Amino acid sequence: MSEIRKLPDHLVNLIAAGEVVERPASVVKELLENSLDAEATAIEIELEAGGRKLITIRDNGSGMDKHDILLAIQRHATSKISSPSDLNDITTLGFRGEALPSIASVSRMTILSSKGKEGWKLIITGGRMDSLEPAGRTCGTTITVENLFFNQPARRKFLRAESTELAWIERMVTGASLAKIDCSFKLLHNSKKVFDLSVVDSPAQRLRNRYNLSSSEKCVEASGESDGVKANLYIFPDKRWANKRHQFTLVNGRLVSAPQVSMPLKEAFSGPAGYPLILCEISINPSLVDVNAHPAKREVRFRKPFQVESAVRSAILGIASHRTESIVGLSERNTSTGLSSTRSHVSYSSTPYKAPEKITSQVRQAAFDFESPNRQIQSVPEITGNSWEDSVEVIRIAGSYLLTETATGLLIVDQHAAHERILYEKIIDSVKGAMSVGQQRMLIPEEISVDVHEKQILSIYSSMIKQAGYDFKIENDTLELLGVPVGIKRGTEALMEVVKALAKGTEASESEAERIASASACAGAIKFGDHITVEEAKHLFNTLFTTKDPFHCPHGRPTMIEIPFNELTSRFGR
């Protein structure tokens, strides 16, 4: 007797549902994509118990007639593609025709839809149709999914807490709202409003509305391009979380995960302070991206991934330089220094950034030259005829702050936080092998007493610590410090802080490289109140703006604050 048999349709649907429908958020994602493909301009999502008990999505899209509704619940029935060649140029969010039958097979689903004249209502339970009858409705579709996984208790048991499932749904709806800013989105949970997003004219405004951010909350925007691939970045550097759930990658309007995007963003903007609010929009020829690589369409593959990464890195460079141009741009009275006044206020605007040719690897290299062993000030490459150090006037106040004038106000920089950011970035790059930090030898080696545990830590992480720029040797219970990373002020204190940080082990949220860099920078940076010369202050100010995130120290505290002239005018009652 043959042991191979053809599976019945309802079992095939259950298997397919296991790939497409992982949790309530998967249902919301698939139904939202159908609504957006139907050109809806208003969508309402209603949930109960994190989506496990009820999911209802209403839209004002094109709707379906009786014939379309009956076809929509059949596997691989779709209006999106018709030939194999269509798979090479997909512009819609849905295309496989699997979502509705898969969802219907593991829930009680009701579809109410109309094209504007006659409406129809279909009820299907566990993949079996219960009824189909006429019903009243304006143009659009309402789909209700009740008791998800009622016929798969094992799957239902593995769903997370209500708050966790709701958080995943919030992310899915937020991603869809960022992709379609000309559509309104309303999310309700247990009859309470989670958010209500009206139509806006920019992704930045949609982010502000979604996270209840005021207009004073800074949003930095920049764009990059590489061989036809374009990346638009919107970053709120002061809004940070412990995870990346509030970072969104859209590829041609589709919310996905892509390492070619996430890795450069993590390197540039993440650290001990957490992960900032980020939207990265990738625009690419549909023929160069495979959206059919994952059953749930969560991941995509690029035919030329290096182009995507290059475009993202170009935009990242724009973020740093965009802000730099605003900070170093002086008022019109300083045009004689060679800095054009037309470059003085371009940050935090909607104008895409194009990196100036003069900001090259030489300028970025200046971040690694803050202080040489003999304390000689390094020269910085010119940008517009004169260097920033020559053109920017810096005043030290209270022995700890650097004050300068921008085109729009007064900028105050915390010298300790600024030096800490510079040291952190060059040390972590050195540990990871991206660039050598350089080493300054001790004129007189310093001796430190170490206990058994400290010696063990130094032995385990010896190669990483030396890669960071430290040089030492241990005999018995004495450590002899021979060299430290360039720029470190207090070598022995910095090294022992590194040992303490590494001793935390799995208790720390950072990687070993981040702990080494963070501890070194914190202990080895210029302290609050330390005296530095005016020339050193100018160089510190200049070098800060060549870093990846000049606005925060490694712990997330601000390195600077800006007081606009209009605020001064208001305070003086003018």
Tell me the per-residue pLDDT of 507-561, one tens digit each, with 9 for 90 and over.
Answer: 556 788 888 998 999 998 988 888 888 888 888 888 888 888 888 888 888 888 8
CA distance 417 to 527: 9
If one compares 154 and 234, the residue with the highest pLDDT of the two is 234
Does domain 201-356 correspond to CATH entry 3.30.230.10? yes
Structure tokens at 266: 């993590």
Q: Which of 439, 445, 418, 421 is nearest to 532 (CA)?
A: 418
pLDDT at residue 336 in the model = 39
The pairing of beta strand 289-290 with beta strand 220-226: unpaired
Paired strand residues for 111: 122, 143
Range in 285-299, 416-430, 480-494 with the lowest mean pLDDT: 285-299
Structure tokens at 572: 């003086």
CA distance 385 to 382: 6
Residue-range domain boundaries for the chain? 9-199, 201-356, 368-574
For the chain, percent of residues with pLDDT exceeding 90:
30
Mean pLDDT for the chain?
79
Tell me the per-residue pLDDT of 273-300, one tens digit each, with 9 for 90 and over.
Answer: 778 999 999 999 988 888 766 555 677 8
Tell me the per-residue pLDDT of 159-204, one tens digit each, with 9 for 90 and over.
Answer: 888 999 999 999 999 999 999 999 999 999 999 999 999 999 999 9
State the average pLDDT over residues 14-26. Answer: 72
Q: Where residue 321 falls among pLDDT bands split at 50, 70, 90?
A: low
- Tell me how long the chain is: 574
Tell me the per-residue pLDDT of 375-395, one tens digit each, with 9 for 90 and over.
Answer: 333 333 333 333 444 556 778
pLDDT at residue 304 in the model = 86
Does position 86 have pLDDT exceeding 70, yes or no? Answer: no
Paired strand residues for 361: none
Structure tokens at 303: 């035919």
If one compares 311 and 317, the residue with the highest pLDDT of the two is 311
* Most confident of the following: 6-10, 352-356, 505-509, 554-558: 554-558
Q: Which of 438, 434, 421 is nearest to 540 (CA)?
A: 421
The pairing of beta strand 254-255 with beta strand 128-135: unpaired
406-425 burial code (b ≥16 CB/10 A, e <16): bbbeebbbbbbbbbbbbbbb
- Domain at 9-199, CATH from 2.60.120.10, 3.90.950.10, 3.30.830.10, 3.30.565.10: 3.30.565.10
For the chain, percent of residues with pLDDT exceeding 70:
78
Tell me the per-residue pLDDT of 426-476, one tens digit each, with 9 for 90 and over.
Answer: 898 888 776 677 788 887 888 888 888 888 888 888 888 998 889 998 988
DSSP conformation letters of 210-257: HTT--TTS--EEEEEEETTEEEEEEEEEEEEESSSTTEEEEETTEE-B
Residue 461 DSSP class: T
Residue type, 468: A
State the average pLDDT over residues 475-501. Answer: 89
The answer to whether the Cα torsion of 506, 509, 511, 512 is positive or negative is negative
State the average pLDDT over residues 317-336. Answer: 50
State the average pLDDT over residues 485-513. Answer: 82
Q: Which of 346, 359, 360, 318 is nearest to 231 (CA)?
A: 318
Paired strand residues for 131: 123
pLDDT at residue 544 in the model = 86
Q: Where residue 83 falls among pLDDT bands split at 50, 70, 90?
A: low
CB-CB contact of 427 with 521 (8 Å): yes
CA distance 284 to 441: 50
Does position 49 have pLDDT exceeding 90, yes or no? Answer: yes
Please give the CATH topology (third level) of the domain spanning 368-574. formyl-coa transferase, domain 3 (3.30.1540)
